[in-house]
Structure 1
Amino acid sequence: MGVSTEKKPQDAPDQSEAMNESSSRRPPSYSALSAEQAPLELPLLHLGPPTSSSTTVTRDQCVAHLKFLAVLADLRDTISSDDGLFGINDAEAERFPDLLNEARARIREKRWAVYTARAVDRYAEWWSIGLPRSRPMATINDLEHISYENIINCDTVVAWNTENLPPLDILMVWHAHSLNPRNFLEDCIRYSKISTWATGFPWEVIDRCINNNTMEYKVSEQAKNQFEQKLNSKWNNLHDQPAKEINCTYCQKVNAVPWTDAYFGDTVANAFKFGNGYADNSFEVKCVGCQHIIDHGRLKVAKFRKDLAATLYEDLPMPGSFINLNGIPDGPTGKINNRAIWYKLFPTRVVQAAGKNLMEFTDGRVGWCENILRLKEQLELKLHDRKILMAVHGFSGSNIHPAEKVHFRRMMSRYWENLGPFSLDLVGAVIRQGTFVDKMDQIDWLHSPTVFNTMDRLIKKYEVFFQIMLDNPRNMAVPTLDVDLAWHTHQLSPSRYYEHSTMSPSISNLHVFIDHDDKVDEGKLSDGFAWTSKMYRRATDGGIYSECTCWYCEATRTPDLYDRWITVGSVSRARTAADRLHDRPDISSDPNKNPHISSHSAVRPTNLYCLAERSGALINLRLQNNYRKAARRAEKRGRQRSDSKSSNNQGDIYPYYMPYAYGYPIMVPYYGPYMMDPSINCDSYASNPGCMNVTTGAAGNCCAGTCGGSAAAGSCAGVGGSGGCMAPAEDPAVL
């Protein structure tokens, strides 16, 4: 690879304004220009950092991001439609003539799931070998040192060029990793990759490798050879090793296991659920040496044991201990009663105190701990052991502080639904970004002659949105699709994003690193969007947040009794502006062609499949009333109702809807922007990317004693991140 570091320049280069004549004369458009795409004509993009520290992102960076997303969309289409890839054949769908489209979609999804699992495995190797280390790995002593908060200050940057960029699949995983800012910061600190964090996504170099006409990512043969020699891997994911090598947890013998056995199963509903490959849901093989079982559960326990050994013998903190509840890597402040460091290191101190017993319990040769559920039960015993708590706290009291509970749940979230070495499951992170990538590809702003004006407009909206997040750290703000593009682009410059987020305290006098949790329940996102729309109207004196004409956006846009703090004039202006959206030529009645609500982060609690239960989270009464009003207005304008083709019940608030999954229409119960992505079939993955298990006693829940007495109070998706798409703290009650 030859990736090196160089001194960071003292002054950022000036960014020139690059914009063609036509874009300055015409109003920005969100609609696609034509069915046939013309060759992409863009001026030279200037992709250096913004010249002002108060600037979030530039329009050229957003355009470069759009190009990269277009390349990812093409990659997914190519891989998923490759008949026979990984032994997964399209002919399997013919066995289900009544569910042909859904079966075809599941087959394509499974190919992409296996490819993504391979990409994450390659990314982990590249992360370890291909990226420079900026310092020795942080120890417990480092976290307790008064200068620890300076660990993110780095004088060097990674010297990216066209000869040392990794393959596209690795860039894709890096992209998704960066879009979980707190997790990415923790991993960069933990594995000493701060120079990578400080440098950010190398837009300028990546942009040079993307062909504007073909949207292909290409590098020189020299760059490919350099990568292959450095990592001992093939440049092309598909040309790499056909099997995954894993160590038996009993005898440590290396086993070459298949990525998938391509077993579809007997029903479409359970497609690929019972596969035995490493990237399959039910992975299980016998060791070629000792004949003991190897499965995902045992591998997760082995991951915990490896981290435990590093804590006991190398003085390294356990995962989840590197940042505080606001996302800040803070050190001691010098105050006598400062307890923040104690809280942050609580899980590390617990496993240190119980270290000998835990090492024995998780020893694969003994076979006592076969999965994370058994580990969870053992840790519950430790949290109720007065001797251990006395060793941790230094006194006999058995009470655990709320902040300590949150940090303990954060540590455990690193092992639930997560096989890799990182603080989150990166396969799931990539898959959850699929909806966002597809929507940006459908809108196709790149081919609009007003693309730069469109970027200017969405950046202005994003800056208002960002201020809303800063001013309301306890609330969950939800972006529209156009705002999300700017937000994602901002996060891909991690150091600047961190600085912009923490440069001034919030209303509650807290410095908060605003997170982006991409695993949030559908209902919470709906509530959050309604709240964000109100706050945006307030901040912009009646401005329209979502320029979309679907029933949901119209319903949430209609002012109601909850808007009492808005003046009568503002309400009137908001209604007038909303009505005018239908008369604008650049606003389509098709939500796929508008800056619709960004739904890529919607997931579903596994015990809440009942529509009646979910409807309460959609602010049911208000949405019903406003939807009927929006439908009547649409009929008066002569527009077709969104449910007219798919539902004969005109009074049905949740009509059936036909979205497209991997190119095929799949019927789902109702239309709403916060449905879990219909392209995600949870059974196709080793770890579930689209659901949260909140069933009492499930392995993904927090250990008893860390949730105030409720065993189901938290899940793997609700800890360790923000607790909401934008909310900055894992548990607001502890702040």
Structure 2
Amino acid sequence: MPMAAPPPPSYTSPDPPSIDAAPEAPPAYAFPTAFPVGRARPAPLVRTAQLKTHLALLHAFADLKRTVELKRTVEAARLPPGNTEPERHWALFVGLAVERFERWCNALPMRGGGAAALPPVDVLMVWHAYLLNPGWYSEDCRRIAVLNALQSDGVGGVLAASLDGDLGAQLASAPSKQRVDEWVETTHTPFDPFEAAAQLTSREIACPKCRAVLSAPYINEAGTGYLQQRFAIRCPHQKCGFAITRDTLALRKLAADLASEHRGLGEYIAGTLHTPTDVADAVRARTIKTAMLGDALKRPATATADAEYADFLVRTGDYKLDKLRELLCEGMRGKGGRLIGRIMSAYVDDRIFSVELVGAVLRQGSFVQKMYDLQWTQPGFFDSAEDEVALQHAIARYHAFLDLMSSSPASFFVPTLDIDLAWHTHQLMAFNYSKDTLKYVGRFVDHDDKVDESKLASAFDITCRAWTDRYSVRYTHCGCPLPGTTIGQRLARLVARGRARRAESNSYLAPSASADADPSLRAATHPSDHNAVFAFHHKAASEDARRRRRAKVAKRARREERWGGVSADTGHDAAFLTPVPMYYSPVQGCAAYVGNVVDGARCAAGAGACNAGGAACGSGGGCGDAGCSGGCGGCGGCGGCGGCG
């Protein structure tokens, strides 16, 4: 007979709140000094001051985006004449920001890891999005030599330290001379992103075939620039003339990693080193790489140098990324399973990162906009004690979310906006995040920022049921805030209305028993859908799933009304029926690379890195690792994460 499950933890404050105050008085919460997560009771892993600082950072990102879209000048984003769509200006501006971030990262080792000043806001925005892919970030910082500096106290710690410091003041004022001088000295480019945009015209790339260095324009009128969807350029050398595309650049990057044997952790393939239980599993990574190379791709005796071996791999793959992938799959269990999709998602261009950072920034933009629309990013919004309670509530719910993941390792849970804010804040402190989740949840909790919307919608329903079963309170209280009052005043009224049920009004997971029927509850418990991706290559199936979900939501609302409840607010769409919008494309496809779209065939091959293409692991289908039993979660894919925020 199986053992009975332990009772759920209690998420209530030590003492009942006072309910005799006037309705406008703040709730008398005594914020707990520890929260149960798994079998432990750690002190709060994030603090309200850090959430406030993070919100100030999001406000700066929102301001930057509005500035770029309002300018709409050819000079600002170097667009061809006639392109006036603000989204396109923003996407290309983000592309230049990623270029600046890469140049900064490449220059950091030359400073000996001593940089300690914050980079410009556009670069901070890219770094922020990178940190919100914590599994890839953690692996890259170990595997890629030039990124090691991001883990040093001088560089990697500067953003985390700023969450406890004066980041908000720095962002609200002109940059200090130290910040400007350090940036210019490190990158030899202007600190101001608009000045830099006017100067950044081209990128040096190496021909994947002859290795000659050439200059590729970022943007041109033909739409074939490096930052544009149809990037293509020919090698100018007469004896070569090779047609260079993003795929062939990715081919060379993959071949270089496969050929390397002399870079320590850097010799391993992306997506194979970091697992949910070991941030640097070199034995597993070595086993996978050996299996991938097999006999057909074994290093020939004539290739004494890594570069010569990489040339051999590129030639053997007939200069085609898909062909080399097929050869690599031959030596892997189950032809690579889901693992090969995860690996290939890291090889989409020649940048040093395993995450496609333009798309990552654009996806995070949805969350930034939601926080901005809720007014949470406004300066001073949480200055009063009564308003700060909302952030305390978010922190409590985040710890309960971690506890839920620790109780069900194989489940895929979806956060609400308030939980996601606390989760994102925790991830910005990369070292602490890794240490905390391994210690308290029992595994590294990854954060998948691109999930098919249908899967996300189903997972959100499961999360709601699991939360209710474990804590006996509702997970989401859908009802948009009314104008004219502060968030703390609304919460105070909810608590006052719950006088008849003191115990529940005292819970940090349910501020008021009457909240279920109150439309003025703040909208922070809406699901966080910034990572929802609409699979255009399965358009009919996706739209059919949307219709079924709308009917389900409407049926639930009618049932609640018959029972005397208040149905969900109809001023906005239901969870995950509005995925992350793609900013431009003449063709339809799925969100994958540079915020662009790819066709169904390529996505199905896993190159697009979306779940619809099978690029992420965790559904139990096996990962192709020689040591994997198919249950998965041990492959470093999203199966070990338990969350999708």
Normalising by the smaller structure, the TM-score range is 0.7 to 0.9
Shift of 1:318: 2.4
- Compared CA separation, residues 597 and 686, structure 1 to 2 (3 A): closer
**Runs of 5+ in structure 2 lacking a partner?**
1-21, 29-40, 481-502, 622-631
Shift of 1:614: 4.6
- Compared CA separation, residues 245 and 221, structure 1 to 2 (3 A): same
Out of 409, 421, 425, which is 1:485 matched to?
421
Which residue matches 2:219?
Answer: 260
Distance in 1 of aligned mates of 2:555 and 2:460:
17
Which residue matches 2:225?
Answer: 277
Q: How does 1:635-650 map to 2 (within 5 A)?
A: 641-642=570-571
Which residue matches 2:346?
Answer: 414
Amino acid at match of 2:183: F
Which residue matches 2:532?
Answer: 602
1:374 aligns with 2:330: no
Which residue matches 1:522?
Answer: 453
Contact 1:247/1:253 (<8 A) preserved: yes
Shift of 1:441: 0.9
Query: Residue 269 of structure 2 aligns to a residue in which SS?
Result: coil
Shift of 1:209: 4.9
Distance in 2 of aligned mates of 1:53 and 1:133:
37
Which residue matches 1:537?
Answer: 468
Out of 35, 44, 48, which is 1:59 matched to?
48
Out of 516, 533, 556, which is 1:626 matched to?
556
- Compared CA separation, residues 406 and 89, structure 1 to 2 (3 A): closer
Which residue matches 2:206?
Answer: 247
The percentage of counterpart residues that share the same residue type is: 24
Query: Residue 433 of structure 2 aligns to a residue in which SS?
Result: helix
Distance in 1 of aligned mates of 2:426 and 2:231:
38
Which residue matches 2:439?
Answer: 503
Amino acid at match of 1:219: P
Amino acid at match of 1:597: P
Which residue matches 2:191?
Answer: 235
Which residue matches 1:100?
Answer: none
Which residue matches 2:16?
Answer: none
TM-score (norm 1): 0.64
Distance in 2 of aligned mates of 1:516 and 1:305:
28
Amino acid at match of 1:497: Y
Shift of 1:612: 6.2
Q: 299-308 vs 619-628, which deviates more?
A: 619-628
Out of 421, 425, 428, which is 2:356 matched to?
425
RMSD: 4.6
Q: How does 1:459-474 map to 2 (within 5 A)?
A: 459-474=395-410
Q: How does 1:146-295 map to 2 (within 5 A)?
A: 161=116, 164-192=117-145, 193=147, 196-197=150-151, 199=153, 200=157, 202-205=159-162, 208-211=166-169, 216=172, 218-240=174-196, 241-261=200-220, 275-290=223-238, 291-295=241-245
1:109 aligns with 2:87: yes
Contact 1:599/1:674 (<8 A) preserved: no
- Compared CA separation, residues 538 and 239, structure 1 to 2 (3 A): same
- Compared CA separation, residues 159 and 86, structure 1 to 2 (3 A): closer
Shift of 1:526: 1.0
Amino acid at match of 1:189: R
Distance in 2 of aligned mates of 1:413 and 1:89:
30
- Compared CA separation, residues 236 and 90, structure 1 to 2 (3 A): same
TM-score (norm 2): 0.72
Amino acid at match of 1:227: W
- Compared CA separation, residues 639 and 600, structure 1 to 2 (3 A): closer
Out of 51, 60, 77, which is 1:86 matched to?
77
Q: How many residue pairs get matched? A: 547
1:77 aligns with 2:66: yes
Distance in 2 of aligned mates of 1:122 and 1:375:
31
- Compared CA separation, residues 286 and 696, structure 1 to 2 (3 A): closer
Contact 1:209/1:219 (<8 A) preserved: no
Amino acid at match of 1:62: L
Cα deviation per residue 1:365-411 (whole Å; 9 max; x = unaligned)? Answer: 9696344223223334x43xxxxxxxxxxxxxxxx556975554433
Query: Residue 214 of structure 2 aligns to a residue in which SS?
Result: strand
Amino acid at match of 1:254: V
Q: How does 1:29-48 map to 2 (within 5 A)?
A: none
Distance in 2 of aligned mates of 1:23 and 1:303:
62
Cα deviation per residue 1:186-229 (whole Å; 9 max; x = unaligned)? Answer: 011112555643754624447535448xx636322343123212
- Compared CA separation, residues 160 and 522, structure 1 to 2 (3 A): same
Out of 354, 361, 366, which is 2:298 matched to?
354
Amino acid at match of 2:259: A
Shift of 1:533: 1.2
- Compared CA separation, residues 610 and 580, structure 1 to 2 (3 A): same
**Runs of 5+ in structure 1 lacking a partner?**
1-21, 29-51, 94-106, 135-157, 264-274, 333-339, 384-399, 551-568, 643-656, 658-669, 704-711
Amino acid at match of 2:229: N
Distance in 2 of aligned mates of 1:722 and 1:197:
33
Shift of 1:540: 2.1
Query: Residue 475 of structure 2 aligns to a residue in which SS?
Result: coil
